[in-house]
Amino acid sequence: MGEKRTRKMMEEFEDLRLDIGRHQRIYSGLVRAVVLDWAGTAVDFGCIGPTDVFRKAFAAFDVAVDTEEIREFMGLKKIDHVRAMTRMVPVMARWRQVHGRNPDEQDVQAIYAKTETLMLECIADHAEPIPGMLDLVAALRARGVRIGSSTGYTRPMLDLLMAAAGQHGYKPDTAVCSTDVPAGRPYPWMCYANAIALEAYPLSAMIKIGDTVADIEEGLNAGMWTIGLTMSGNELGLTRARAESLDATELNTRLEVIADRFRKAGAHYTARGVWEVLPLIEVIDARLSRGERPI
């Protein structure tokens, strides 16, 4: 009886799936909106600002953390980022050496409070648009594409960053932060909030662009196309000057490793930075016109 019931349920599910497919509307228009990350994607080449802050925040409690440990969780809501770092075995060991015990939730809250203070003090210093960002914005606006944004920053952090970025000429149509929604990345809520604010539909007509695996997962979970940026952001983690000073072979090798990581996470496309994004949007336009979807 169990096998027969299971088989019947599977047959009913298949009939329902086919029925949904027959009645589903296929979008065949152009890209309607993009959702860009902030640090490492739109501003702050190399995602330098947040990295320095996390290092200083842990140092305030006499615990050293290295760049790789910080960057592993970049893109998450900031308190989730702190929480994830305190659960890393090497960080826990260093914390025990100093404090005689593993870090707990009270410690997470204390580190996060320090992180927020430091971030608010320096975030405006890392608001310069990444090369090509303003050109991309102009091209998108000319095509009628709306521009949204999402971030692991809190609302007070984002407000300061937006004001400073605005002085440099970068003003997206909307900006959603992790504290505006029930949960940050990889959950899709910030992308959904952007879609509502931008009045963009369907989700398959939108693209999530970011420089971390968390960005890609956020976009995929929202049902959007995704583009991962390899050179300007967190994964390479170098200032523009340092990145451009690398030997071409070494740079290409490192960027291909990052691109492969993004592709394994499900990214539809990768690019070095926003300066290479517009041709990919045109490719996605063509795929949409054929009725293709990101899922």
Task: Give which of 278, 150, 290, 281 is closest to 206, Cα–Cα.
Answer: 281
> Would 16 be classed as within a structural domain?
no
Instruction: Give the pLDDT band of residue 4 (cuts 50, 70, 90).
Output: low
8 labelled catalytic: no
Asked if the structure places residue 255 within a domain, the reply is yes
Neighbour count for residue 21 (Cβ, 10 Å) = 9
Per the domain annotation, does 25 fall within a domain? no
**Quick check: is 7 in a domain?**
no
Domain boundary among 101, 123, 145: 123
Do 203 and 65 reside in the same domain of the chain? no
Tokens 């690398």 belong to residue: 246
Last residue of a domain, one of 123, 158, 177: 123
pLDDT of amino acid 148: 98
**162 occurs within a structural domain:** yes
Neighbours of 60 (CB within 10 A): 14
Residue 23 has pLDDT above 90, yes or no: no
Q: Which tokens hold the place of 98? A: 């100093």
pLDDT at 98: 96
Please compute the mean of the pLDDT values over residues 276-295 and round it to a whole number: 95
Entry pTM: 0.83
CATH number for the domain spanning 55: value is 1.10.150.240
Which residue type sits at 114? K
pLDDT confidence band for 6 (50 / 70 / 90): very low
- Please give the tally of structural domains in the chain: 2
DSSP-assigned states of every residue in 36-81: E-SBTTTBSTTSHHHHHHHHHHHHTTT----HHHHHTTTTS-HHHH
Query: Where is pLDDT greater, at 104 or 4?
Result: 104
Residue 5 lies in a domain: no
Instruction: Judge if 251 and 135 occupy the same domain.
Output: yes
pLDDT at 1: 44
Catalytic residue among 44, 77, 78, 215: 78
In b/e form, how buried is each residue of 216-251, taking b as 16+ CB within 10 angstroms?
bbbbbbbbbbbbbbbbbbbbbbbeeeebeebeeeeb
Tell me if 236 sits within 8 A of 243, measured CB to CB.
yes
Q: What is the mean pLDDT of residues 183-206?
A: 96
Residues 57 and 156 in one domain: no
Asked whether residue 147 falls in the same domain as residue 109, the answer is no
For 53, the domain range is 49-123
Question: Which of 33 and 51 is assigned the larger pLDDT?
Answer: 33
The active-site residue out of 8, 15, 19, 37 is 37
* C-alpha span between 233 and 227 (Å, rounded): 13
Question: Tens digits of per-residue pLDDT, 100-120?
Answer: 999 999 999 999 999 999 989
> Are residue 88 and residue 179 in the same domain, yes or no?
no
In this structure, the answer to whether residues 200 and 108 fall within a common structural domain is: no
257 part of a folded domain: yes
Burial 255-294 (b: 16+ CB within 10 A, else e): beebbebbeebebbbbbbbbbbbbebbeebeebbeeeeeb
In a domain, 116, yes or no: yes
In a shared domain, residues 72 and 208: no
CB atoms within 10 A of CB 37: 29
Is 78 one of the annotated active-site residues of the chain?
yes
Average pLDDT for 238-246:
95
Q: Band the pLDDT of 10: cuts 50, 70, 90.
A: low
